[in-house]
Structure 1
Amino acid sequence: MVRSKRYRINEYRISEFADGRLWWDAHSGIGKQIGGPCFVYGNMLVLGTRCSEEDGFLKLEFFNQLKRLPFWHKTRYYCFISALMDVSSGRNISEQKLQQLIALASRSDTDSENMVSERPGTFRLWQYQIFIPPDGNIIWRTCGGMGQIFGGSVIIESDVLFLGPKKFDDPRQKNKRDFLNSLRSLPKWGRTNLWCRSLALKPISPVEKEKPFFSLPKKPKILQQTRIVPKSHHSKYVKQAWSQITDYYSNTVDELKARWPKGIIGVCLDMGKNPTIFF
């Protein structure tokens, strides 16, 4: 089958076949190439499950060819199918179910953003509480293991509800039992078909285009150690010691002169030498 066009997204090569099907390839291991199908769902390119492995280029050769390809521009975002969950079952979405949703979406032009902003309310999405205020800034809440209630922001894009990272603790509800009882009484979330526990939505932006594909590891810089020569105080100590020695022997000579008669003892004290006593 002849590929009509090839694109790139970061370290992935996207191939578009003449019949409209999409396929992704990536480098793996030593001279290996893995790949799988792709699906366009709304404004997202969904990279499907890996289902092939074959001999390919070495890593440097693969990325050298990849950087010559034009960047993917037919969707604003991309994500992996392994991160998407089915709202109805709470399990990972299958490729077959995703293709069914794509077929249904192609027959309707529903604007999910307008639908959400015009219909505020509070809903239950499995263990999460989804709150839609009138201003459209959606948040999620859930209960932790220690009974702590916390939450974060929500993004809805292309019929997928993405839970953002934890941003706040809810001081209004500190009882886990009360939170769960309130959660059970809420209507089920049904405004999107898919959801994701993390913000796995990745933008295709100019910032990502400038990201290098492959680079050799840089050698660490070896800093030359500067030898620190300790300051010498030798001359200072020598002067102090010599002064003490001369004072000591000067006192010794005076005592000997007082005890012994003149002419019997002679003391010779020469600079730089030990004193010599002779009779």
Structure 2
Amino acid sequence: MINRDKDFCFCTLALGEKYRRLVKQLAQDIQQYSPGTSLVVYTDLPEDLRDQNNILAFPHQSQGVLYCFHDRRFVIEKALSLFRVAIHIDADTTIIEEVPEIDWQPGITSGQGKFQNIIGHLDAKEKYLGEKIPKEREAFHKIASKLGISLENTFWIQEALYIVARDEGREKEFIKQWGRIGRYLELRQIHRGDGNAIGLAAAKVGWTVNTHGFQDLIKVRRHLDASKDPTEKLPNSQLKTMGDELKFKLKYHSRLNLARIKALKDWEFYYG
């Protein structure tokens, strides 16, 4: 049930049994530290979450070519159709203190100490990997040129926690541009993360990154980062049989071909 007394909600993806389990705990945390606040969830099994009365669960199957990072835009879009403010939070998060109710500014809000321009983020990634990433640099420079924006003035958004608030319809264009950018990257085999795509989409619609209230929010949560479980690597690393591997490959190529077909409708952006 939607609490109309609140203009904000949390939202997240929960695809797979592990993340559904984590999101149930997150919902319990929210109920304890922010009573009456809804958690909007896109999930592959909504009925598994029906026992949590503060969860608004909607069916969703991953649409990303390899990963579901860019699918987050769909749950944010849904949340913004129900509430003025959508607080995106990763499912593998715990809330440890009372959640402050903040008058979030229109557009996107992230942390002053956590974001950097995309050039700086690519530099940091190269340092972390210990190798150059020319394919990614080329892709981001091309995207920026196509969008008519500067990478130096476009900020990477830390994906685990950020806030999007309605802004006279610009949030709808933000979601659209994020989808275009995400597909462009996936077609060039850049699959991991969505923080750069979020930053590019925000810059395209003319948003600057707000910081008001973010530090008050981030201190009440702890991110577990289940994606860094050392037992989990690429999706196909968990496949046990040749049949499983074949299904994975068929699904991957099906999604890739679908992305290619959709890209044909915007030929100049994707291939020009």
| TM-score by shorter chain over 0.5 | no
Structure 1 or 2, whichever has the larger Rg, is 1
**Which structure has more RCO (C-alpha within 8 Å, separation ≥ 6)?**
2
TM-score grouping bracket, smaller chain normalisation: under 0.3
TM-score, normalised by the number of residues in structure 2? 0.22
| TM-score, normalisation: structure 1 | 0.22
